[in-house]
Structure 1
Amino acid sequence: MGLFDKLKNKTQQGKGRAKEAAGRESRDPNLEAEGRKDRAAGTAKQVGEKAKDAVREVRRGGR
């Protein structure tokens, strides 16, 4: 749940943006929606990772 997961989430967001743009360009609403879904999933996972990091920091006595 460290750097590798964060990179995977960022990659998923990037793929979602690309699919969304491709869908817009080709006027394919299904591809655009799939891109939005991928981007949202990557963002949600990223938020989860940040929350885990915050909890770890608090447990270590930081902040």
Structure 2
Amino acid sequence: LQIAEQSRMHSNADLMVANRIEDASIKAWIGPINSNYQCVSRENLPASLLDAIEQIWKPQ
């Protein structure tokens, strides 16, 4: 996740979806959400990613 976060910061991205080779088919990590990365199942990845985008862009 450290490499994913460095890549996100380097590319000036708002969010990053990261995978690990050993479990990429079953889970992914989305972040930073409240300064942390959250582990989600691949099945829930689309909905979780949309939720994360909405959280970042919701009016304050």
> TM-score, with normalisation over the residues of structure 1?
0.31
Higher relative contact order (CA 8 A, sep 6+): 1
> TM-score, with normalisation over the residues of structure 2?
0.32
Q: Please state which structure has a larger fraction of its residues in strand.
A: 2
Larger Rg: 1
Q: Please state which structure has a larger fraction of its residues in helix.
A: 1
